[in-house]
């Protein structure tokens, strides 16, 4: 069964609004989760590393004020896309590591109109 649950799977929002994506580890505690972004026909790009109880570590070029990450508990990390623009439309996916194995959420397809 799923080890990492991501919600929602699809979301359509209007420009200027904010969207929150949740990533939950099921039946295990994840002190670290990873958020990726994938454009069509491109590889995954790491956006940030989410650390429970502390600030997220953002990759170069990723705006931390635009992509807010909160890892308030050992089983939940959230990514909020603030003031979304059409260019933020993409596939966002989270992952966590359990027993040296990568586990991914099913991803969230965000469309900003």
Residues near another protein (CB under 8 A): 34, 38, 42-46, 49, 91, 93, 95, 100-107, 109
3 versus 112: smaller Cβ distance to another protein: 3
CA triple 82-61-106, angle to 5 deg:
60
How many Å apart are CA 89 and CA 76, to the nearest integer? 23
In whole angstroms, how close is the CB of 28 to another protein at the nearest point?
15
**Residue whose C-alpha is closest to residue 111's, from 27, 24, 31, 8:** 8
Torsions phi, psi of 87, nearest 5? -70, -10
In whole angstroms, how close is the CB of 36 to another protein at the nearest point?
8
18 versus 106: smaller Cβ distance to another protein: 106
In whole angstroms, how close is the CB of 31 to another protein at the nearest point?
15
Within 10 angstroms of residue 24's Cβ, the number of other Cβ atoms is 20
28 versus 91: smaller Cβ distance to another protein: 91
């Amino acid at each position: 069964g799923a080890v990492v649950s991501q919600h929602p799977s699809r979301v359509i929002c209007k420009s200027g609004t904010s969207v929150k994506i949740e990533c939950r580890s099921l039946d295990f505690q994840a002190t670290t989760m990873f958020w990726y972004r994938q454009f069509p026909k491109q590889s995954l790009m790491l956006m940030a590393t989410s650390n429970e109880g502390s600030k997220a570590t953002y990759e170069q070029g990723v705006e931390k004020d635009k992509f807010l990450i909160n890892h308030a508990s050992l089983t939940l990390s959230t990514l909020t896309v603030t003031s979304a623009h059409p260019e933020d439309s993409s596939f966002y996916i989270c992952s966590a590591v359990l027993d040296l194995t990568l586990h991914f959420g099913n991803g969230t397809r965000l469309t900003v109109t």
